[in-house]
Chains A and B, each alone.
Chain A
Amino acid sequence: MSDPGLLREQRRERLFFVGLAWPAIVIVGVSAMAPIFWILGQSFQTVAGEATLGNYDKILSSGLTWSSLGTTLALSLSTLIICVVLGVPLALALASANRRVANRVLILIMLPLWTSILVRTYGWLVLLRRDGLVNSTLAWLGVIDQPLPLVYNFTGALIGMTHYMLPLFVLPVYAAMRDIDGNVVRAAASLGAGFWRCVATVILPLASGGLTSGSMIVFIYTLGFFITPAVLGGGKVNPIAIRIERTLSTFQDWGGASALGMLLLLLILIAGCMFAAIRRLAREKVHYA
């Protein structure tokens, strides 16, 4: 240890390894971090480059921003709720199946995850149109006599976003449920807890870590969604991401677009902190229970 030559050698080795990370750090720094700091700076500048709060004043006094904020939160929250309702039973079924069946079904869940977002959006357009498969099937079954307006509106955007997020929600929930000790469930059963009671009071609390990470992924991801609402919303659904694009491409208002970008970032940070807090609370509760 006290050999100075060896120490120097170790230090040099460490420097070498730090050096290995630099290309990646520089690329991410230059093409992801720098632009975001640039947006931050831009949001506090006039076109001429003088310091101003005018961009924020303009977007915050515009009713369009507030309605976009409402749309964004409504979309994210509804997507999350539907993901929980559809995803928890799927994860539960997977966790109760034997490993081989579960792995097969997992491929079916992963496949849409890797299919292009544009392919999926197109598929939903085809399914949900006035004369699409869903409407024609419902009409054939006699459930409806007028086609339902399922796309080019909030419903369409919601269906597309739920479809995109569901696999990302199911995976962490399934992982958490799979890790639950089967003996705990057997103990609950032998103590007389019925199936649903066991799910509600044993399985779901023990899977709360997976549930909160899944929910956090869904909520935070959907706050910045662009492609799906832009296509399936048909111009009628305008979350902040779409408002940013309009502000930039239609009005060439870089300051306004940057301020909206910062608003989105702030929203994501707040949501992240909230979910982190929920997660801590849930963990403590499970710990003491």
Chain B
Amino acid sequence: MLDAYQDSRLARALIWTVASLVLLFLMLPTLIVVPLSFSASDLLEFPPKDWSLRWYETFFGSAVWMAALKTSLMLGTLTAAIAVPVAFLASIAINRLGSPLAGGVYGFLLTPSVTPGILLAIGLFIVLAKLGLIGSFVGVLAGHVTLAIPVAIVVLQPAVNRFDWQQAQAARSLGAGWPRAIGGIIAPQLALSLVAAGLMAFLTSLDEAVISIFVASGANTTLPKLMFISLRDQIDPTIAAISTLWTIFVGAVVLILNVRSNDASK
């Protein structure tokens, strides 16, 4: 865009310097955690003097952390398993209905993503408390599915809109009912987008902390809730190990999604 200003070397250099510093600012907090997780010391010294895997051992050896990890993985899987089909059907409906009804449904389904987490959390807390369900797995799951639905819809909607709907019409005219057309024609062709939506829904649940802090308790404590409590009380290097594993996992997911979208655009 700025090719007319190739000569303004100083201005361009200045902008790139600021941009590089800002990028460093963005990367630094995630990168700093990695070497610390391999430190042998109880202190968070940088760079670490001695190296060890003791914080990973602490994490994997702790019944409390492992229970939270298990809860989070189960929640994430169930969240994706519920949110993606539900969001997929809703995306088809939004595509087929046409405005303004479709616009209304779309807007309504996106509201959880713009509502502050704290409001959803206290609302769910109060409702679940009245129903005697506080601390229950179902309560947290409901909260996570609600947050994952807008994420899945945002991922799926462009794919559903790109789909060649004449194929579905052809299947219909050959005698297939809509359920069969959706399951046999549309879903297989959008498989990659469905997987992407599933990963995003899983990540949304895995990282959700505010609702979990309020609603999850006891045996249903999630990993982010436990990390939050632990961070508020003291700085435990075990969290550096968890953070490193987490960053590697998320990095892999983002790379996979990125490669996929590059392939799709070719």
Flag if B203 contacts A17 (CB, 8 Å): no
Within the complex, what minimum Cβ distance (angstroms) separates A269 from chain B?
11
Q: Which of B55-77 contact A (CB under 8 A)?
A: none
Option from A96, A111, A189 in Cβ contact (under 8 Å) with B30: A111
- Set of chain B residues within 8 Å of A94, measured between Cβ atoms: 19
Chain B 16-33 interface mask (CB, 8 Å, partner A; 1/0)? 101100110111111111
Interface residue SS majority, chain A = helix
Known contacts A23-B90, A95-B2, A166-B22: does B120 contact A35 (CB below 8 Å)?
yes
Report if B111 contacts A (CB, 8 A). yes
- Set of chain A residues within 8 Å of B38, measured between Cβ atoms: none
Report if A70 contacts B (CB, 8 A). no
Option from A110, A115, A166 in Cβ contact (under 8 Å) with B247: A115
Option from B27, B108, B116, B250 in Cβ contact (under 8 Å) with A116: B250
- Set of chain A residues within 8 Å of B258, measured between Cβ atoms: 107
Within the complex, what minimum Cβ distance (angstroms) separates B48 from chain A?
12
Flag if B119 contacts A264 (CB, 8 Å): yes
Report if B96 contacts A (CB, 8 A). yes
- Set of chain B residues within 8 Å of A35, measured between Cβ atoms: 120, 122-124, 126-127
Flag if B120 contacts A248 (CB, 8 Å): no
Flag if B26 contacts A109 (CB, 8 Å): yes
Q: Which residue of B lies closest to A241 (CB)?
A: B118
Report if A138 contacts B (CB, 8 A). no
Report if B51 contacts A (CB, 8 A). no
Q: Which residue of A lies closest to B36 (CB)?
A: A126
Q: Which of A187-206 contact B (CB under 8 A)?
A: 188-190, 194-196, 198, 203
Q: Which residue of B lies closest to A232 (CB)?
A: B231
Report if A254 contacts B (CB, 8 A). yes
Known contacts A38-B123, A115-B30, A224-B117: does B23 contact A126 (CB below 8 Å)?
no
Flag if A21 contacts B209 (CB, 8 Å): no
Most buried by A among B2, B30, B146: B2
Complex CA distance for A203 and B31, rounded to whole angstroms? 34
- Set of chain B residues within 8 Å of A25, measured between Cβ atoms: 90, 105, 108-109
Q: Which residue of B lies closest to A36 (CB)?
A: B123
Report if A75 contacts B (CB, 8 A). no
Within the complex, what minimum Cβ distance (angstroms) separates A205 from chain B?
14
Within the complex, what minimum Cβ distance (angstroms) separates B173 from chain A?
12
Known contacts A112-B27, A122-B231: does B123 contact A245 (CB below 8 Å)?
no
Chain A 169-209 interface mask (CB, 8 Å, partner B; 1/0)? 00000000110101001101110001110100001000000
Interface size on B, residues (CB 8 A): 86
Flag if A108 contacts B26 (CB, 8 Å): yes
Q: Which of A234-268 contact B (CB under 8 A)?
A: 241, 244-245, 248, 254, 257-258, 261, 264-265, 268
Report if A47 contacts B (CB, 8 A). no
Report if A42 contacts B (CB, 8 A). yes
Complex CA distance for A182 and B228, rounded to whole angstroms? 47
Complex CA distance for A21 and B82, rounded to whole angstroms? 14
Flag if A121 contacts B231 (CB, 8 Å): yes
Flag if B18 contacts A108 (CB, 8 Å): no
Q: Which of B140-196 contact A (CB under 8 A)?
A: 142-143, 145-146, 149, 153, 178
Flag if B228 contacts A227 (CB, 8 Å): yes
- Set of chain A residues within 8 Å of B115, measured between Cβ atoms: 32, 36
- Set of chain B residues within 8 Å of A241, measured between Cβ atoms: 116, 118
Q: Which of A217-232 contact B (CB under 8 A)?
A: 220-221, 223-227, 230-231
Flag if A109 contacts B23 (CB, 8 Å): yes
Flag if B33 contacts A123 (CB, 8 Å): yes
Flag if B30 contacts A90 (CB, 8 Å): no
Known contacts A118-B224, A123-B33: does B116 contact A224 (CB below 8 Å)?
yes
Report if B4 contacts A (CB, 8 A). yes
- Set of chain A residues within 8 Å of B112, measured between Cβ atoms: 28, 32
Q: Could you list 10 A-B pairs, sorted by A, with CB under 8 Å?
A: A25-B90, A27-B145, A28-B109, A32-B115, A36-B115, A95-B1, A96-B3, A119-B33, A122-B239, A264-B119
Known: A28-B111, A105-B19, A245-B118. 14 other contacts (CB 8 A): A24-B149, A25-B105, A33-B111, A38-B126, A89-B15, A89-B18, A89-B19, A108-B27, A114-B203, A163-B25, A180-B1, A227-B210, A230-B228, A257-B122
